[in-house]
Structure 1
Amino acid sequence: MRQRRLKNEINVVPYIDVMLVLLVIFMVTAPMMPTGTVDLPSVAKSSQTKQQPLEVVIRSERELALQNHAETGGGKEASVSRDALVERLKSAQAANPEQPVVISANKNVRYEVVMQIMDLLQRNNINKVGLLVQQQAGK
């Protein structure tokens, strides 16, 4: 009589059965779960600042300008380098710490450039930095 050899393999059929049952349960119960809602701010609901801001205008990757809206007549845009921008913003906020700084950029400017300017201002402790948005028409 021959002796039977033992198999050294795991029987995976029961595991597959369990996985298929779990998959069916999740497929049936997933549509019944309540979905979460997130209330995001709308551009049409943006509040107006009490003080006129300092506006950093990004025209291209290498071209920056600074405009002080608190000056009479809306202020003139003055082209500045990145180093000069930081110095002028620091001196303006030293004179008026409540004056906000807004960043506006041309639609063709890459998002990365805007983030680099925001990072530069944050590293140099420029407070109250925001992004300038265009109001939606008809709201």
Structure 2
Amino acid sequence: MARVRHKRKPVAEMNVVPYIDVMLVLLVIFMVTAPMLNQGVKVDLPKVSSEALPQDNNVQILTISIKADRTYYWNLGSEVDTDKQMDKAMTLPAMTDAVTKIIAAGRDQGKQTQVFIRGDKAVDYGAVMGAMGGLQKAGVGNVGLITEAP
């Protein structure tokens, strides 16, 4: 008896299993090498010593001091005065209200107000950022940070 042979049709489907294997190998390679990449460039920052800027008579200087216990003090004058401060410690909302009034009074007199923040090195970053947020609510656009000379 003769066998009946059925002709097989060629398979027209693409076999994707090898591609998946290659993709998984590449994924593992990237997962292993990604933590080894440097994020950013190592830079040695310079120490800066500079001369004082010339004073503008139409500008009043507001210095906000933040002590290590997160209390806020302010000083208003014609120059940056780091030795004097207001005697009364303030909370952040009270400082924001005071700055709002100081800036409004300066605008009424036609003066611009420059604001500087002096933060104790023991104060946390959140207190300084809170002060900057309060100053922004008070309408301050630019804030300078005071540091010590090297």
Please state which band the TM-score falls in when normalised by the shorter chain.
0.5 to 0.7
2:72 is aligned to 64
Q: In the aligned structure 1, how far is the partner of 2:142 from the partner of 2:23? A: 56
1:133 and 1:48 mapped to 2: Cα distance?
13
Whether the 8 Å CA contact 1:57–1:104 is kept in 2: the answer is: yes
CA distance in 2, matches of 1:21, 1:127: 49
* Counterpart residue number, 1:44: 48
Instruction: Say if 2:99 and 2:135, in contact at 8 Å, map to a contact too.
Output: no
Aligned CA distance change for structure 1 residues 46 and 122 (closer, same or farther; 3 Å): farther
RMSD value, Cα:
4.1
Could you give the per-residue CA deviations for residues 36-76 of structure 1, whole angstroms, max 9, x where no partner exists? 86999856167744337321001132x221123426x8783
**Number of corresponding residues:** 118
Specify which structure has the higher proportion of helix: 1
* Runs of at least 5 residues in structure 2 that lack an aligned partner in the other structure: 1-14
Q: What CA deviation, in whole Å up to 9, does each residue of 1:83-122 have, x standing for no partner?
A: 223322432455321x411011112222112111111111
TM-score calculated relative to the size of structure 2: 0.54
- The 3 A distance-change label for structure 1 pair 21 and 58 is closer
Cα distance change on mapping 1:64 and 1:47 into 2, 3 Å: same
Higher CA-based Rg:
2
Q: CA deviation at 1:126?
A: 1.9
Determine the structure 2 residue equivalent to 1:6: none
TM-score normalised according to structure 1 size = 0.57
What are the within-5 Å matches in structure 2 for residues 24-103 of structure 1?
Answer: 42=46, 44=48, 48-51=52-55, 53-59=61-67, 60-61=69-70, 63-70=71-78, 76-78=84-86, 79=88, 80=90, 81-82=94-95, 83-92=97-106, 94-95=108-109, 96-97=111-112, 99-103=113-117
Q: Which runs of 5+ in 1 are unaligned?
A: 1-9
Counterpart check, 1:16 vs 2:21: yes
1:104 and 2:109 matched: no
Native 8 Å contact 2:99 2:138 kept in 1: no
Classify the secondary structure of the residue corresponding to 1:44: coil
Aligned residue for 1:4?
Answer: none
